[in-house]
Chains A and B, each alone.
Chain A
């Protein structure tokens, strides 16, 4: 649990999660499978997790079949209940856990999380400080302190904490991602671009980071940034096998913006093939999936002089 081991979700597993959710919600069984998959994919789906998890926990025979796994389920349901603001259920779950594991740090973290869900920031801070006393390098607790600052709306404090945290734990890409998202929300795009560069270095095969980086660069503007953005949109297209509509649109927008900027200078038209291919792929995708909107897209592309 400690270091960030989260992997991105492949298309197939995402679809499987939704299918299992549908099946379990309609009483088709597979609830435990769904809960395990949700935990593994770190999906945030509190309402179904709370409903299905409670159903499992309230069924004594199902619970005994889970054996030692049931404590993980208690934890999962407790967090889901907090996310649904069912603090009574969360409190009951944490009570069961603390009876089973007295003095456990993991349960102490859950108790502090309950303070957070209630909005008792001072109590939560105190509880986290207590955990940090015994284990000053508890990554999750450090992250929770950042989250408290964020929940109180104090973004600059959260950025401060995150920067301090990242000086200690540079390999934590979840934290880099969080910092990038906070910077984007504060419209500090240069800093966000730096974070996305770190993320691309750490996990070069995840196309979504390339896409986010390209978008930040496109937002920054300027000829050089636009050209780099176009390259990253192109790498997103390569990594997704051309299935990412956003990246296709990005290539088209970048090239139209570049051609507007370099209108007078009549620069070399080196990558005109890329944008026309992207436009073609876009039109084809719209024809296949939303034929009613195809005319709109064709008109827009014509306005950008791409097709």
Chain B
């Protein structure tokens, strides 16, 4: 999955639909992944925002962990139930064709819970779109390999008290 992740960026996992800030024409293009163009509006205040809503982060992470644990337990229980079912089948001397219905339900629910936890616990998603606010390129780096020193720095000497103490 071509998604970048960064830990602990925003207090809650990103909503699974693209946000209203994204123009409709872009979300239609197929090669882009529908990624929420994350809260660029609050970027200057991000530190503050993170600190103030950290309980929310903790609770979302906590719920994710709990759901993941329940999902894992369900998967383990489904495996155990299947083994028992097969043991019963051996005693009654029947053929094993498919696991019982409740085991299948357990598997599906466990899978869904584990997927939910896997998506929500690590961190929020980052945008991969080149035009999203945090990826938008505004300038090229100075071409330092070709730097030359014929510029106004020659005529404007910097303060003379700068000195390297050896």
Q: Are A147's CB and B148's CB within 8 A?
A: yes
- Identify which of residues 175-206 in chain A touch chain B, using a CB-to-CB cut-off of 8 Å: 175, 177-178, 205-206
Judged by a CB distance under 8 angstroms, whether A69 is at the interface is no
When the two chains form the complex, which single residue of A44, A86, A139, A150 contacts B158, counting CB atoms closer than 8 Å? A86
Chain B residues near A178 (CB-CB < 8 A): 143, 146
When the two chains form the complex, which single residue of B130, B134, B142, B164 contacts A44, counting CB atoms closer than 8 Å? B142
Min CB distance B140 to A, Å, is 5
Instruction: Report the Cα distance A6→B141, complex, angstroms.
Output: 7
Judged by a CB distance under 8 angstroms, whether B27 is at the interface is no
Per DSSP, chain B at the interface is loop
Q: Given the interface contacts A86-B158, A205-B130, does A57 sit within 8 Å of B164 by beta carbon?
A: yes
When the two chains form the complex, which single residue of A4, A144, A240 contacts B136, counting CB atoms closer than 8 Å? A240
Chain A residues near B142 (CB-CB < 8 A): 42-44
Q: Are B146's CB and A9's CB within 8 A?
A: no
Min CB distance A233 to B, Å, is 15
* Segment at the interface with A among B51-59, B76-84, B149-157: B149-157
Judged by a CB distance under 8 angstroms, whether A107 is at the interface is no
Judged by a CB distance under 8 angstroms, whether B91 is at the interface is no
Q: How many residues of B contact A (CB 8 A)?
A: 33
Q: Are B162's CB and A86's CB within 8 A?
A: yes
When the two chains form the complex, which single residue of B130, B133, B141, B164 contacts A7, counting CB atoms closer than 8 Å? B141
When the two chains form the complex, which single residue of B133, B141, B145, B165 contacts A41, counting CB atoms closer than 8 Å? B141
Judged by a CB distance under 8 angstroms, whether B139 is at the interface is yes
Closest to B152 in A: A85
Chain A residues near B8 (CB-CB < 8 A): none
Chain A residues near B139 (CB-CB < 8 A): 8-9, 14, 208
* Segment at the interface with B among A20-28, A45-53, A248-256, A293-301: A45-53
- Identify which of residues 100-129 in chain A touch chain B, using a CB-to-CB cut-off of 8 Å: 116-117
Closest to A116 in B: B149
| B-contact bits for A252-281, CB 8 A (1 contact / 0 none) | 000000000000000000000000000000
Instruction: Report the Cα distance A92→B166, complex, angstroms.
Output: 8
Q: Are B158's CB and A84's CB within 8 A?
A: yes
Instruction: Report the Cα distance A256→B154, complex, angstroms.
Output: 44
Q: Given the interface contacts A9-B137, A9-B141, A89-B164, does A44 sit within 8 Å of B132 by beta carbon?
A: no
Closest to A74 in B: B164
Q: Are B149's CB and A143's CB within 8 A?
A: no
Min CB distance A163 to B, Å, is 14
Instruction: Report the Cα distance A15→B143, complex, angstroms.
Output: 19
Chain B residues near A85 (CB-CB < 8 A): 149, 153-154, 157-158
Q: What are 13 A-B pairs with beta-carbon distances under 8 A?
A: A8-B137, A11-B133, A11-B136, A84-B158, A85-B157, A93-B164, A140-B145, A146-B146, A147-B146, A174-B143, A206-B140, A207-B130, A238-B131
Closest 7 CB pairs of A and B: A44-B142, A241-B131, A42-B141, A151-B148, A92-B164, A8-B137, A143-B145
Other contacts beyond A8-B137, A11-B137, A117-B149: 14, CB < 8 A: A10-B137, A11-B133, A11-B134, A12-B134, A42-B141, A54-B162, A54-B163, A54-B164, A85-B153, A86-B158, A88-B163, A205-B137, A208-B139, A239-B130
Chain B interface (Cβ < 8 Å from any Cβ of A): 23, 26, 43, 130-150, 153-154, 157-158, 162-166
